[in-house]
Amino acid sequence: MCAYIVVAEDDVKQAELVRRYLEHEGHSVTVVEDGRAALEEVRRGEPDLLVLDVMMPRADGLDVVRILRAECREVLVLMLTARSTEDDLLLGLDLGADDYMTKPFSPRELMARVRTLLRRNRRSGGPTTGPAPLVVEDETLSVGALRIDPARHEVSVAGTPVVCTPGEFRILAAMATEPDRVFSRQRLLEELHGFDKYISDRTVDVHIMHLRKKIEHSPRRPARLLTVFGVGYKLTDPAKNARHAQS
């Protein structure tokens, strides 16, 4: 899965390390050293992914994301920063970043995040080259009476609004793109990168438990968000399942 990736990082050693790892995985890489150069390269080259440091000269990373999203450019953005407070994390994501890593980070983890973003982008129907939305934000996702609106970050069941945390919403939206598919815990953990500061297998289970309280008529006997023992979880339409059972 080769991609064109722009790395915007003013720390020369850090940029070179990231470039080497990305090129080792077969990607084409351009390195720039400031925010304005990052904007120019995204506009000119239409990369698949922008690996973007927050603290840079001539426009910081947050300004770069703000400008790109205002221009409706849908390049994937993975932000890198030494800042680690929740407010900084949420600000980056609210502006339109797709993932977020704090420094210092493991290059192997960074490559895993890159693979996850590019894989999700391909699965969502994006082109093999050039930018594509991770989630098509003008399309409402529906699984029976469950409705998910990515653009408005809204969830409802039979017209009744449901309030979800960013992590809960991320899991629900991912599963709604492929109803009845079984998602492993590891796959759902990938969805949570950048949305939960501390994650583990238990984190997924907690999110599932909270979601069941919000979208199930009887959380102890779930009909929508089901456990597939030994494998993971799936999101399904209970009304459709009931019709099939009667036929």
Q: Does the structure show a pLDDT above 60 at 198?
A: no
Does one domain contain both 14 and 64? Answer: yes
Residue 129 lies in a domain: no
**8 A C-beta contact, residue 71 and residue 97:** no
Q: Does the structure show a pLDDT above 90 at 189?
A: no
53 bridge partner residues? 80
Copy the structure tokens of residue 212: 């069941």
Residue 128 lies in a domain: no
Q: Does the structure show a pLDDT above 90 at 94?
A: no
pLDDT score recorded for residue 201: 57
Phi, psi of 129 (to 5 degrees): -135, 155
Residue 136 lies in a domain: no
Q: Does the structure show a pLDDT above 90 at 88?
A: no
User: In 3-state terms, the chain is what percent helix, strand and coil (to 5)?
Assistant: 40, 20, 40
Residue type at 220 in one-letter notation: R
pLDDT score recorded for residue 87: 59
Vertex 76: Cα angle to 172 and 1 (nearest 5):
95
pLDDT score recorded for residue 126: 45
Mean pLDDT confidence for 102-128: 71
Residue 161 or 102, more confident? 161
Strands (E) across 34-113 are located at 49-53, 76-81, 99-102
pLDDT score recorded for residue 212: 94
Residue 241 or 225, more confident? 225
Q: Does the structure show a pLDDT above 90 at 118?
A: no
Q: Does the structure show a pLDDT above 70 at 193?
A: no
Least confident of 89-103, 124-138, 161-175, 206-220: 124-138
Does one domain contain both 186 and 228? Answer: yes
Residue 181: which of 141, 215, 225 has the closest Cα? 225
Mean pLDDT confidence for 120-134: 42
Number of domains within the chain: 2
CATH code: domain of residue 152: 1.10.10.10
Residue 48 lies in a domain: yes
| Residue 178, number of CB atoms within 10 A of its CB | 13
Does one domain contain both 113 and 158? Answer: no
Does one domain contain both 88 and 188? Answer: no
Residue 78 lies in a domain: yes
State percent of the chain over pLDDT 70.
Answer: 81
Mean pLDDT confidence for 98-124: 77
**8 A C-beta contact, residue 125 and residue 103:** no
Does one domain contain both 111 and 151? Answer: no
Residues 6+ apart with CB under 8 A from 57: 10, 33, 34, 35
Does one domain contain both 69 and 116? Answer: yes
- pLDDT tier at 132, thresholds 50, 70, 90: very low
CATH code: domain of residue 64: 3.40.50.2300
**8 A C-beta contact, residue 78 and residue 101:** yes
Residue 133 lies in a domain: no
pLDDT tens digits along 27-46:
999 999 999 999 999 999 99
* DSSP single-letter state for residue 71: T
Does one domain contain both 219 and 151? Answer: yes
Q: Does the structure show a pLDDT above 70 at 150?
A: yes
Domain that holds residue 171: 141-246
Does one domain contain both 37 and 71? Answer: yes
Does one domain contain both 150 and 234? Answer: yes
pLDDT score recorded for residue 33: 93
pLDDT score recorded for residue 146: 95
Residue 29 or 207, more confident? 29
